[in-house]
Amino acid sequence: MSDFVTTGNVFVPALEQAAEETFQMDEARFHAFYERTSRPLWAYLSRLTGDRTAADDLVQESFYRLLRVKLPDGGDAMLKSYLFRIATNLVRDEWRKRKTQPPALELEPERIEGRNPESRHGEQHESRAVLEHAMQSLKPREREMLWLAYVEGSSHQEISQVCGLKTASIRPLLLRARRKLAGVLRGKKVAHA
Amino acid sequence: MLNNNTCPREQEVLDALQSGRMEPLREHLTACTDCADLALVAGFLRNESEIVQEELSRGNAHLPSASFVWWKSKLRAKRETQEQAMVPLRIAEKAALGAGGLAAAATAWWFWPSATQATALLSPSMVLLAGTAAVCVMGFALYAVFAKE
Ligand SMILES: [Zn+2]
């Protein structure tokens, strides 16, 4: 690749190198980090947005922004929290722009029907309609917190960083969201707090 | 008022879910609402996560490779750097265009009396020709400035 790139009638020297220099990690570290975090991030985004295509775009956008921002001090766990925070903010921005609530989640009936959750997790008595209703009934922030806590195993501090909330408020909010989802999954009506 | 205290055995429930050994907790789960909620919700969400992971593994959902994302990010960063580098030039172009326009207007204003006298001596077809030529030159100048955008 040439060291010079034509822009209109002006030559900008070593533009490619200049662009790469704005990245906050080298290619090897990026590869390793991407391999570890892209699948969990895609899972989080696809269940948060209910839209696989949007999840594809958001994953790429999140990693791009991570490359361009000044990274926080700390290890890979901190970096992962930061990545999820970027992704969460992107989803919120998108909803704000559209001024709509997140859509119903895409669930695959054949997969769900093919499972036996009763034997896997004890108390689940699912049907596609119940699952859809369960996820729809949650607010976006509740989806975020529950997913981070019970799928990602994030601590309250990590959840607070991703969701932009105070650490002390995570416990009651999480508990409320959990009770709400449990109620819906049991087919009960849960009073909104 | 919501009770924010939770059962001290919650971690046990999460560990049991992870290992799939729920049987020893069966009795506790029937007696403790918090742990029953936790088992239900965490089990449901982890099940959802497994469905998504299966979608990815079976190729029903596509996740680009690290190399592709890196390459695409590099291209985008390059384009953005390029655009940033062009900003001062675009401003200079706009300023030059503005100054040129002002100069042209001042010249026209200055020479207007002598131009009207001169046109009185010319035939209407010559005036039309000169007007058309002026419009063409101005149009070309504007095109040259804005075509790049
Ligand atoms: Zn308990």
Which chain B residues are Cβ-neighbours of A62 within 8 angstroms? none
What are the structure tokens assigned to B51, written together?
A: 């469905």
Q: Which residue of B has its CA nearest to A25?
A: B70
Angle between helices A167-185 and B33-57 (to 10 degrees): 80
A95 plus A143 within the same structural domain? no
Average pLDDT, stretch A102-131? Answer: 47
In a domain, A173, yes or no: yes
User: By residue range, what is the domain housing residue A151?
Assistant: 124-193
Q: Confirm or reject contact between B57 and chain A (CB < 8 A).
A: no
Domain count, chain B: 2
Residue A173 has pLDDT above 60, yes or no: yes
The candidate with the shortest Cα–Cα distance to A162, out of A65, A54, A77, is: A77
Domain residue limits at B53: 10-58
pLDDT tens-digit series, residues B92-146: 888 888 898 899 888 888 888 887 777 777 778 887 888 888 888 888 877 876 7
How does residue A145 score in pLDDT terms, banded at 50, 70 and 90?
Answer: very high
**Does residue B92 share a domain with residue B54?**
no
Taking an 8 Å cut-off on Cβ atoms, the answer to whether B52 and A47 are in contact is: yes
* Residue B34 falls inside a structural domain: yes
Token pair of A12 as six digits: 């900008």
As a whole number of angstroms, the distance between CA A53 and CA A124 comes to 29
* Cβ contact A36:B109 at 8 Å: no
User: Which helix (H) or strand (E) is B9 found in, with range?
Assistant: none
pLDDT category of residue B82 using cuts at 50, 70 and 90? confident
Domain shared by A93 and A136, yes or no:
no
Question: What is the distance in A from the centroid of ligand 1 to the CA of B29?
Answer: 7
Categorize the per-residue pLDDT at A65 as very low, low, confident or very high, splitting at 50, 70 and 90: very high
Average pLDDT value for residue range A114-142 = 60
Q: How far apart are CA A41 and CA B69, in angstroms?
A: 14
Is the same domain home to A80 and A136? no
Look at chain A and report how many structural domains it folds into: 2
Report the chain B residue with the minimal C-alpha distance to residue A181: B41
Q: What is the mean pLDDT of residues B61-87?
A: 88
pLDDT of residue A111: 42
Per the CB < 8 A criterion, the answer to whether A177 and A146 are in contact is: yes
Residues A134, A183, single domain; the answer is yes
Assess B77–A contact: CB distance below 8 Å, yes or no. yes
User: Does residue A178 form part of some domain?
Assistant: yes
Most confident listed range (A71-75, A129-133, B11-15, B122-126): B11-15
Output the CA B142–ligand 1 centroid distance in Å. 76
**In this structure, is residue A186 part of a structural domain?**
yes
Q: Is residue A105 part of a domain?
A: no
Q: What is the ipTM of this complex?
A: 0.74
Is residue B44 domain-shared with residue B93, that is, in the same domain?
Answer: no
Summarize the confidence of residues A174-179 as an average pLDDT.
Answer: 95
Say whether B53 and A117 touch across the interface (CB within 8 A).
Answer: no
CATH number of the domain residue A192 falls in: 1.10.10.10
Q: Same structural domain for residues A79 and A136?
A: no
Are residue A86 and residue A134 in the same domain, yes or no? no
What is the CATH classification number for the domain harbouring A48? Answer: 1.10.1740.10
Nearest by CB to residue A15, choosing from B54, B61, B78, is: B78
Among A16, A115, A146, select the one facing B78 at the smallest CB separation.
Answer: A16
